[in-house]
Structure formats: structure tokens, C-alpha cells
Structure 1
Amino acid sequence: MNLYWGDLHNHCGITYGFGSLENALAAAREQLDFCAIIGHAMWPDMPEKTEELEFLVDFHMKGFAKLQNNWEYVRNTVRESNVPHQFVTFQGYEIHSSEFGDHHVLSPSDELPLIQANSPAELVAGLAPLPVIAVPHHVGYTPGYRGVNWDAFSEEISPVVEVFSKHGCSMSDSSPYPYLHTMGPRDSRNTIVSALQRGKRFSFAGSTDHHAGYPGSYGDGRVAVMASEKTREAIWEALLARRTYAVTGDKIACQFTVNGAVFGSEVKDSGSRQLKLDVTACDGIEKVTVYKNGKAWSIVNGVSGGDQVQQPSSAQGRYKVRVEMGWGENKDGFVWQGSARLDGGQIVSVETCFRGQSVLAPTPEMRDNPNINALGNKLISSSDNGAEWTCTTFKNPSTQHPQTAALIFEIDGDINSNLVVEANGQTFAHSIGELLTGSRSAHLETYNSEAVLFHRAVPESEYCFQGEWSDDQKETDCDAYHVEIKQWNGQCAWISPVFVLA
């Protein structure tokens, strides 16, 4: 089994999002293994049109009609982009619902028709016998106000639930990333914890719900899937088997089992539950929390990191160094041409953290721009001693909303290993020993200009974790164990439950 990374819920200009479908698929191929580009298709219980709601109703109706009129083109483009073992696509579209909450249907079938229905369950039934699931998303909104309806929730049609996206985190009402969109706050009755405590069984997914055609936009949500190979059939089987988990952005690699059963599984209670967790993160691990039936059951705090200064060690080892670019005042996009080389040591891997423009929903002043997602973000090459890339960053829209880009270099070296970065003709270099004591930044121009940031070097002992626990206390006929991983940089992973059945 391998981990594959994707986005199962991303929007573009095929309905009332922005950016071309082709650009969206090209962006996905740069840093994901699979994706689904979702069109908005229907809202059976949409509020009646009034003067106050005129814009809301009109942009929805125009978007629905646009998808209907272009469905064959959308379906064919998605089909042609599916290349087994290289990049996987799924077909799908979205149904809004005030009563049941919003869902998007997914299918591995390129024959998926675009039909109308009054509910997610009716939609899945109408698409039979094609293989289809319905994924609830932004579930934490107010009941009856586009939040999920757990009373009507069906595990058979929804094995996976989206727990994090650009809307925020729906795990609990005290989780990081609160709901701040105009649709309102999150409500504890509709959180994931509430559902688990009611005995609902499903796995977790992160996806962006990004409306400017950039699947996997860093920090907006991604889903990890454990599958046998990178094909539609294998990833679909993993979705049905609930072998998924959610991350905010960093590809935090996790393995979590209870009595040998992997996340998403159901296992019979044998009287003793042996929990095992193996994590390879992308930054220092601040905290690992194991939850039992939605309540914190065991907490392991990171041994170091954050603002603590690390004492350099001359020992050979592995380190992760994040190089971030952005800032400045350019609202129209600043293009970076970058390269890196390592003097003394070896680059083990390079992970990209590229973003699309920050768009969650259309506003009256926005106009269609098919190239809004043509950002040229690309890892051009990488080797054991260097890398080359290009990317576009924008002025941060607020002090809490970054529009930067980054690359994470995993390095096998020592304190004398020197990472040299050339960005737009300027050269910056720092050793592992120097970066173990803290971050270093530099600006391209004199004032308010774009900048390059070398983050603190993180030794392997801080970004890797292994834990084992034992439990023999039955609480319910279906005890659910899940895990939250939080890094020092705020990036998180939510590992799907293993369900222990009496």
C-alpha cells in the first residue's frame, strides 16, 4: 500500500468558479496524484429570489445552466486527463441542500450523467447502477443552513466526509481554523466529533473547495489515500474502504492501526486494543492527540521546536528546511525563478507548497478570467544536489491569510551542509548549523518588497514520531479512535478512526 495525495472538491469556471478546466487540471498534476474538478449542478431547496437575494440566486442559476450546457466537454476533458499510474481523475458534481447539507458526488465512471434530484440520497439512487458516492462537505454549518443533517446521513452512500477545506475545520467547535465565511459559524451539533459520538462511521478527507481552479492549493485542504497503486480502480477501492485521512496542506505521512487494522477499518473487540502510530511530518511536531469517541484520550506534546533555539549537533542526520517566497505589495502576481543546490550532503526529497489565488466564492465585482489559475507554478527539476522551480505569489490579502509559496527540502547532511538558493538573480545561502538556531530572511528590494525566508532547520527527531498505546476499556458498542497531528507551523492532519465493535 502507498500513500497518494489528492483534492476531491475543487471548483473552476465550468460553473460559477473561475479559471479554465485545463489550467485546473494542469495545476493539480504539479503537486497531486489525483483530483476531482467539481461543477455546481443544483440546489433543489434554494431560497426564493428577492431583491436582497437577487445576486445569490442569479449566479447559482447561471452556474447550473453553464455546467448543464457544457457537461459533455467537462466529462470528456476529465476523462482524457486520467492517465493510470501517472495522474488520476474522477468525475463529479455538487448538489446544494439547506435541509441535508451540501454534497458532491464522485464516480470513477466516465459515463456519469448530469441529472437532477431533490436530495443527495435521491441523486445517488438516480445514478445507479453506476458506482457513485456522495461526500458531505463544510458539514459544521448550522443545521438547516447548509450544514449536514446527521439524522439523514447514510454511511452506505457517504463512506468519506470532508472535514477540512477553505471553509475551515469541522472536527469540533474548538478545533483550529474556525468558520469565517459569510455562510456563518460552525455549530457543535454538526461537527465530526458530534457524529462520532452518535455512532456514525466514516473516514476523513480534506479538500480545498477552492473556487479559482487550483486543486491542492496549499493550506486549503488535501486528502491522503492508502491504495495499492495510482489508478482509478485502486483509489476508488480505497475510498470505499475508508482508507483516507485529511491534512491542511503539508503532506504529513501517517500510519495508524488498532490491533493491526488500519484507519477507516472496523475491528472486533478482543478485550485489548493495541494502538500504533507512525508519523513523518513536514515540520516539528507540536502535539499528537489520540481521541476516543471524540474525547482527548492521550496527548503527547512535542519535545522541542517553536521558538526554542536548537543547539547545533555535528552528527550526520536528516533535516527539513522550508524555503518560502512571497510578501511584497504586488496584487497582480510576482513571478519567481528559483533554483537551489546543496553543498555537502544530499537532497532526499523536495515537496512543493504552491497556492492558487485565494477565492472561496464569487462576489458581485468578480469577472470571469479563464487564466486566473494559470500561475506557472512548477517544480522544473530536482536531484540529489539541487532543484529548479518557478512560481507566482501575491500580496498577502491580510495579516492572517498568506499567498506565499514554498518548497520543503529534506536533506541528508550535517551542520556544515550549505543550502544555496538563487531567486530572481539574487543568491542566498545558509548552513544547517546556522538554521538550527533559527530562521533567516532577505528582501529583493529596499522597501516593502518580496522576500525569501529560510525556515528553521528541523532535525528528523522532531518531525518523526512513533507511539504505542494499550486500552482495555470498552465505552460503547462502537468505540472510535482517531488522531490529530499538529505541527509547530500550524499545519495539521486528522487521521480517520478505527472502529472497535463489541
Structure 2
Amino acid sequence: MHYKKLWTDLHSNIHHNQMGELNQWIEHAKKTVDFWPVAYYPFYMKRTETGAGLEDLYDREQIEQDWEQLRDAVKQQNEAGYPMFMGYEWQGSGEDGDHNVFFLDNDQPMLHPMRYEELYQAYKDRSAIAIPHHVAYQLGSRGKNWETHREAFSPFAEIYSSHGCSENDTGPFDMERHLHMGPRTGETCYERGIEKGYLVGMIASGDNHNVPAVHDHGTMCVLAADGSKEAIWEGLLNRRVYGVSRSRMDIDFTINGSPMGSVVKPGEGTLAFAIEAADAIDRVEILRDNVLDTMAVHAGTWEETEYTGVRNYKFAVEFGWGPNPKFYKDRLTKTWDGSLEVPGRLCSVQKCFNSFGQELCNVTEKSCEFHMTTYMSTTTGHWMGPSTVVKEGFVFEVEGKPEDEIVLKVDRYVYRFTLKELMKSSRILAQYQESMDLAAEVFGNVEHYRDDFYWHNAYKTRIRQAVPEEAYTMKYEKKVTLEAGSCYRLRVHLRNGDTAWVSPIFVRE
């Protein structure tokens, strides 16, 4: 069966004091993801009389009012054709780990029992799922309790987010952003669930509390028959899901034709995958029962080829950086206006948005225009705010010849470069004069034997190295002997450090 690949952030937490921004969140989600399961966050940090901070639920009346407001908004979007799902974060006593609860329909209550089993019993006869996240924190202190897990209720786990990676405690992306919740431990990580024999898939999503679908914090893809809520729900229940740390990747992974998340019978089989990424693929790790089975290396297969004629290329363009708020307290945001023009064909544009205020418009086969807003900080004093975000961008895919000249217009600047030049190296285009003018305006003479003050405070556009289609696409297959009780899954690593985690295919009698 052919499935559509639909993208979302399954972990966008909107708080009680942000419900006035709900429409802005929805409109941003509609620009960036194919469907949106919103996860209302009913907690706040209350202070004891002596000043200790304790995270607790808001008053029941307040969160019920928010729940009804959310219900009305989701119903309105569903009627207009956008697949939104109602959801909320459940934490209970912390003994079973944090879970986001989502519903297929829009008529369910929001419940807060203390234990995961009680949550399951409350919703077991309803179309509800509870997805664990940041599972590798300490057991009993908000880490996942695999002893109480119900695989039908929690068909997959969020193993990467702004917190870091919970797949294991030995790999990259350590969980260091929320130091007060860590460090991570292998006792509760995703791999312990696989070892227990659970049928549990894996995704990435942001754990975002200020902006939905933050590109740099991870997103997920579901394979669904179509874009309806019912088809998406069926894909979620059957674990046809995977996650990426940053840029999106088009991934198909099968054994004997059965897709990720499936259960297949023991015997001889063919494992196959096909990938289209946003940058050069470095390698793909095929894991059998959490152990590396095969390393499929793609690096070194394309770099020495001389590319001629017409083919597809991809390159990323990022906007941001700029004045340090320590010196320029009133320069926290900047708007950018620009366009990209190609002599060949503009095939696709991937949005890499981290904040509100981004627009891609007037997209044709020859050009596109954009209006961007970058922030030196989007935390806005929020106690769950993200780390500083300083860039926004796109991944452009163009069809053309190496000698084709690309024209990038950014504010009052016009940059020209051929695809051949861009395949050799990335480049930084700084608004250097503006930084000098600003320094003179605010501080007067800051001349120095080094240009640090100008360069460090300059707005910059970075154009990443272009790669041909041969670099960012990969197909592979191998024969495998399928033993009952085992499972196979993928880790995909790009040259730029982006990673994808693909849900297992399980072998059962």
C-alpha cells in the first residue's frame, strides 16, 4: 500500500496563560505541519510560603475553561479541513513518567489520576493514546516506568526533543538542557522497552512551550493512507512513525514489503530502505535488538564524481545571528525580506522555522519570496522557554546545471553564485557595514586592531554547501533471517549532524 508521509510536532505545550495566543499557534502550525495534535499544559510553578517552587496543576475550573476553549478551536479547524487533535500533558505522581494524551474525537474529558494504570483504565474504551516522552530520566522522578507500560495505549515513545535523546544513555544528544531534571539514565531509556519485548515505535518532537513545530527541536512523520484524522490515527496506532532531530527526511523502511511498525513472521526476508534527505547522507545504522547489525555507509560514494548536465541539487540558507543583547538591548528582533531566483527549476522548499513571523510566498518554478523574523531570544521570561534561537531558514531543491547562476536577494543585497561554486563550500554573507554603522551610532569610536565587535554583532546569511541528488538519496536492501522475538530499526545520520530514528519492524510468531 502507498502511504502519504505527514509531518507534525506531537509535543507543543500551550499553557493556561498562553491561551490568548491560541489562534497564533494554530496559524503557525498550519504553515509548518500537515496536522497538529496540540498538547495543553495544565501545570504552573507555584511558590510555597518560604519560596520553594513546586510544579502543580492549575485550579480545576481554570483548566476546564481552557479545555473547552481548545475544544471549540479544534472543532472549528476540523470543520475547515485542518486535522487538529485535542490533547494534554499528563504527569501524575511522576512515578510512571510524563505522557501526552491525545484523542481521535473532540468530546473527551481531561483527567489527572496519579498513576499510569489509572489513566489507562479511564480511557481504555475510548480512542485515546498516551505517548511517553523524555523517557530516560530517573525512575520515580519523571522517567518512564516500563513495568507499567501498556503497548496498545502507548504505541510509540518520543525519544528525541529539546530535552535531548532518550534512546539510550551512551549515544549523542545527551539530555543536558534541563539540568534540573537530569542526567539521563539507561535504566529507563527507550531500549529497555525494546528489551522487554514491547511493540513500541519511536518519534521525535519538540517539547516546545512557546512556539509549535520548532525546526531545531525535532519533528515526526506518520505514514497514513490519506490526510484525514481517521487515517492519521490508524497510522499512529500501528506505529508507522519516525522522527528527525532537525531537517525532514523522506524514509521508507520495509521487511518483505511491510512498513515500519509492522509485525512480520519469522523466516527468510528482505530488508529494504529508501531515503531522501535535506543534505548528504553519511551512513545508516541497521539495528537488530538494539545492537548494530549492519552499517550502510553512503559517504564516499558520490564526492569524487564530476557532475555535468541537468540534475537536482539541495542547499540550505539560514538567516540570523546579529547584535549581542548585552550591548544592544533594543535589537532583539530583525525582519528580512528576500527572494531566490533560479534559471532552471525550483523543485521544492523545506521550511526550517523556529519562531513566529516567517512567510514563504509567491513560489513558482523559477523563484520564491520570503519575509523572515529572527530573534536573539524567544524565551520571553518563560520558565519552560527554549534556549536562544537566532536563525531561520529554508532548504532549497533546484534542478539545473553546475554552471547555472542562482540569485539570492536579502534586504538590499544581491548575491550571485553558481551551483558549481556552491558545491565546493558553504559561505557566510554578513551585513558588515550595518554593524559598523550601529556601533558608531551607539558607542562612537570602537576602532580596534581586530574586527571582533563588528563581526560578532553583524547579521549574517549562511548558504550551506550544495549537494547533488546522488548525495542526499540512498537505496539499500539485504537478505535477513528473521527470528521470532527480534526487531529491526534504523538510525540515519546526515553529514551535517541531523539524525533520524525509524520505528522497528517486529518479528513475532
TM-score in terms of structure 2 length: 0.87
Letter in 2 for 1:491: D
- 1:47-58 matches, cutoff 5 A: 51=50, 54-57=52-55
Aligned to 2:429: 442
* CA gap 1:63/1:135 in 2 versus in 1, 3 angstroms: farther
Q: Is the 8 A contact 1:13 1:21 kept in 2?
A: no
Q: Does the alignment pair 1:388 with 2:369?
A: yes
Question: What RMSD, in angstroms, separates the aligned Cα atoms of the two structures?
Answer: 2.5
Higher relative contact order (CA 8 A, sep 6+): 1
* Partner residue, 2:24: 23
1:93 maps to 88
Is the contact between residue 243 and residue 262 of structure 1 (CA under 8 Å) also seen in structure 2?
A: yes
Amino acid at match of 2:335: V
Measured at CA, do residues 239 and 337 of structure 1 come closer, stay the same or move farther in structure 2, by a change above 3 Å? same
| Contact 1:164/1:206 (<8 A) preserved | yes
| C-alpha distance in structure 1 between counterparts of 2:67 and 2:482, whole Å | 52
Q: 1:16-415 residue pairs with structure 2 within 5 A?
A: 20-41=21-42, 51=50, 54-57=52-55, 60-62=56-58, 66-82=62-78, 87-97=82-92, 98-127=94-123, 129-180=125-176, 181=178, 182-212=180-210, 214-269=211-266, 271-304=267-300, 313-329=307-323, 332-343=332-343, 345-356=344-355, 375-395=356-376, 403-415=390-402
Equivalent residue of 2:409, what SS?
Answer: strand
Give, in whole Å, the separation in 2 of the partners of 1:194 and 1:416.
52
Q: Return the alpha-carbon distance in structure 1 between the equivalents of residues 144 and 46 of structure 2.
A: 17
The letter for the 2-side match of 1:2 is: K
What is the Cα deviation at residue 334 of structure 1? 1.4
CA distances 1:155-191 after superposition (whole Å, capped 9, x unpaired): 0211121111111111111222110112111111111
> Which of 1 and 2 has greater Rg?
2
Q: For 1:45-94, what per-residue CA distance to the aligned partner results, in whole angstroms no more than 9, with x for missing partners?
A: x9996846x3233xx3348764233221121112212357x531100111
Cα shift at 1:311 = 6.8
**2:460 corresponds to 1:464:** no
Q: In the aligned structure 2, how far is the partner of 1:186 from the partner of 1:31?
A: 30
- Letter aligned with residue 25 of structure 2: A
Unaligned runs of 5+ in 2: 326-331, 380-386, 434-453
User: For residues 473 and 3 of structure 1, do their structure 2 counterparts lie closer, same or farther at Cα, with a shift above 3 Å needed?
Assistant: closer
Paired residue for 2:16?
14
Match of 2:382 in 1: none
Query: Is contact 1:320-1:458 (8 Å) kept?
Result: yes
Deviation string 1:386-406 (CA, Å, 9 cap, x unpaired) is 1111121123799x9653111
> 2:46, 2:53 within 8 Å by CA — same for their partners in 1?
no
**C-alpha distance in 1 between matches for 2:102 and 2:321:** 37
What is the CA distance between 1:325 and its match in structure 2? 0.8
Equivalent runs, 1:413-424 vs 2, <5 Å: 413-424=400-411
Identity level (%): 29
Deviation at 1:312, TM superposition (A): 5.4
Aligned length: 469
How far did 1:473 drift? 6.1
The correspondence for 1:5, drawn from 4, 7, 27, is 7
State the 1:246 CA deviation: 0.9
Over 3 Å counting, the alpha-carbon distance change for 1:277 and 1:148 in structure 2 is same
> Where does residue 479 of structure 1 map in the other structure?
486
Distance verdict in 2 for CA 1:62–1:380, change over 3 Å: same
Query: Distance in 1 between the 2:319 and 2:59 partners?
Result: 35
Deviations 1:295-316 (A, max 9, x none): 11111223249xx986752232
Is the CA contact 1:316–1:413 (under 8 Å) kept in the aligned structure 2?
yes
Structure 1 gap segments, 5+ residues each: 357-374
Change (3 A) 1:128 1:289: closer
**Other structure's SS at 1:147 match:** coil
1:403-433 C-alpha deviation (Å, 9 max, x unpaired) = 3111111111111122211111211121100
